[in-house]
A and B are shown apart, each in its own frame.
Chain A
Amino acid sequence: MSSKKVGMVSVGLTRFNRRSKETPKELAYYSSKMALDEAGITRKDLDGVIIGSAPDAFDGVHQKHEYLTDGSGGFNKPTMRGYVGGGTGVFSPIQGWYSVASGVHDVVMVTTEEKMSSIQPSAQAGFLTIFDNLIERPLGPNLVWIFALEMKRYMETYGIPKEHIASVSVKNKGNAIDHPSAMLGKNFTLDEVLNSEILCDPVRLLDISPVADGAVSFVMMTEEKIKEFGISKDDVAWVDGVGWNVDTTMWTNRDLSYPKYVEKAAKQAYNMAGQKDHSPEVLRKWLSFAEPYDPFNYKELHHLEGLQLFAKGEAPKAAFDGVTARDGDFPVTPSGGLLGVGNPIAAAAGMKSAELYLQLTGKAGKRQLSGDVTRGLAQAWGDLMQVGTVLILKGGRVD
């Protein structure tokens, strides 16, 4: 393998909330400037810029990548925007990885940005245009509607009680209290989640992550550049494994109870990291924690199973029993996740990738996991219940 070792050396995050007075460019500027400052480098040091943002319809800006170029530090640079719907925030650092690992670029800025407040009356209006224009769009579907189908299918297949699923909301919204970017950190009781307003059976208000605006950036570079800039290994998280996978467009033909595409993406990443044993017990020991995508509470569980971290149908009970709490045996979503920190699509998964860096470098503040944090996994999901993206980082002093 001729791949170069790639390190993430800094992250920058904005607050996640409704930020109607700031343009998408400004949000991208805040996070990318913060990441540059944290890394102790300037825009001149960048060889390339990667931009991640989900649908252009949110901002009403065509060719949004071009629009975001200057805010993201891309003026007169090679800039590129990759795109896998909601999976983008984990995919953008993967693009950072391949840009650097290939030897084409030495130092890259990766920015994930989303502004969802521009679209009126709600981001759901934008989501209507993601469906097939002949077969599905005339039905007027929205995301809550189709995820209610998936949640129901998941519950029915394994006989999962709603309490187990609701416990994920309690955990994540509670964890988010300690995240400085969070918009919905709060200690809810299980009953409050179970009895919150019903939106589309079985989905209730507190089962869902809140719509937000925000941006997250990363600086990634080669080992040689890390030495050249004098960056301490304690401030580095190495890319250990990456994987991504997209299923067929025909989501109505899919087994909604199990995300096969997440399994395939995860196995790609584990194999790249040299982890050939994919049994749940081994993987949970190998990883210190995980940040699976949680736009809805059941998704965190669904994804933990797709990631092979729990056997099929077993993640809900483990979550309910506290195994996945921040002080549990296998911490899951210590950041507070999309449910607690907020869900500005591409930036939300960017925040998950950033949590890997912060935990591995001991910079997660009150959220810092106890013990030796050596390796973490972030995963995102998107498109038409269709894509899985997986990023595994390891600590700067881990071989």
Chain B
Amino acid sequence: MTNKVAIIGVGIEGFRSSIRELSYKEMVYQAAVKAYSDAQVNPRDDVDTFISCEEDFNMGTSITDEYAPDQIGGAQRPVHTITGDGIQGMAAAYMQIKTGMFDIAVVEAQSRASDILTHNQIQHFALDPLYVRQFDATHHTAAALEKQIYLKRSNTSEDAVAEVAVKNHNNALFNPNAAYGIKATKQDILQSKMIATPLRSGEVSESADGAVVIVLASEKGIGNRDVDPVWINGISYATNSPNFHTRDWQTAKYAELCAKKAYEMASITNPKSQIDVFEIDDTYAFKELQHLEALGIYESGEAGKALLNGELGRKGSNPVNTSGGTIGMGNGHDVNGLQRVAEVVHQLRGHAGKRQISGAKTGLAFSWRGVPTTAGAIAVLGGN
């Protein structure tokens, strides 16, 4: 027994710009039922530990973990919350299984972004109350600054950034779970409204509602279940600095740090050739390129060129964000990471329908928690 950990079930509800006919609990319930049926587990008997990923202010409730257990079958069971991205929650579940004390774990994350009327103001509360908040900078301002630095430092063109948005909106057309499938053109993006120079509205992902539940298991937990496991070969997470005045603006440091550890765990020395499909954070279009470089998949300045050459498209050599990414799926905040994991699982199982990358055997999911954080999490997955 090698004590490996696999994903044995995924369930997605949404994503849509707004899900009005289901309450947040019903939305999560729908995703959970799909995941449990995929994994062939009964949550009341088989699952040893549950993890829910959510933030108080996004949910509009303090100690919001109070509302997590019932809809995932976790009442009177070990349940806890990670106030972070879904891949961080997955890392917590992975560690619990690795202790040998738990065999089956469930990770849940959700977004009810449509309930948030003033996302900008919520995000404003994430800034340091003494030193930074008084400048009244919106999170888009910080992203614009970062984009400016990235473009200059890597000598990447605005065209490349616009093409990221075009690609991801178009990929989303083939994903039934995506909220923002659009036949966009470069001109649409380049002519969209400037919101904070040099950031245009067309490069920014729009919010969406949705929920993802995944089931993790040890080899013992898999047992005789007739499931199609996707193995977690590497998983890590890292944070740079929460402050505008102390963070690294030159590179996505958090991505470098967690990639190093995850590649080590997964014995990856050349991610570009050893990994077949990539789901990389694209909350802002330029972030996809910046993250590809920080993750060591491309050299500085090469990601944009690769994109313009078609390498990152569905038919390219390194397909990135076949799901549509956050731009195409919609920004579900803390559920983004699990959405990316779900897409990699679909690809590695050969269940990605029209967007299937043939022969995909390994995949990488990377998420970032958005401005003002410098927190990222990564999972390297391998098919059966």
A interface, CB within 8 angstroms of B = 1-4, 23, 54-57, 59-70, 74-85, 91, 95, 97-99, 101-104, 126-127, 129-130, 132-133, 243-250, 260-261, 264-265, 268, 272, 382-384, 386
Contacts and interface: CB of A to CB of B under 8 A. Distances in A.
Interface string B244-262: 0010000001000110010
A82 B100 CA distance: 20
Contact of A248 (B70, B88, B369): B70
Interface stretch (B124-132, B140-148, B203-211): B124-132
B70 A102 contact: no
A33 B241 CA distance: 18
Closest 10 CB pairs of A and B: A102-B98, A55-B62, A62-B125, A102-B95, A2-B100, A248-B75, A246-B79, A62-B126, A83-B81, A101-B99
B52 to A, nearest CB: 9
Contact of A130 (B61, B83, B101, B253): B61
B238 A78 contact: yes
B65 A248 contact: no
B62 A130 contact: yes
Nearest to A129: B62
Contacts of B57: 56, 62-63
Given A61-B125, A66-B369, A56 B56 contact: yes
Contacts of B70: 248-250
B69 to A, nearest CB: 5
Contact of A83 (B83, B237, B253, B369): B83
Taking residues whose C-beta sits less than 8 angstroms from the other chain, chain B's interface range is 35 or more
A78 B84 CA distance: 12
A298 B374 CA distance: 43
A130 B126 contact: no
Given A2-B100, A98-B96, A386-B66, A264 B76 contact: yes
Contacts of B123: 62
A107 to B, nearest CB: 15
A91 B83 CA distance: 14
A76 B55 CA distance: 22
Contacts of A1: 100-101
A56 B68 contact: no
Interface in B52-93: 55-57, 60-63, 65-70, 74-84, 88, 91-92
Contacts of A101: 95, 98-99, 101
Contacts of B125: 56, 60-62
B63 A85 contact: yes
Nearest to B78: A244
Given A61-B129, A95-B92, 11 more contacts: A3-B100, A23-B130, A63-B55, A76-B238, A76-B240, A85-B63, A91-B80, A129-B62, A130-B63, A246-B76, A248-B76
B283 to A, nearest CB: 14
B331 to A, nearest CB: 15
B375 interface: yes
B257 A79 contact: no
Given A62-B122, A85-B65, A272 B101 contact: yes
A69 B241 contact: yes
B84 A69 contact: no
A117 to B, nearest CB: 14
Contacts of B237: 78-80
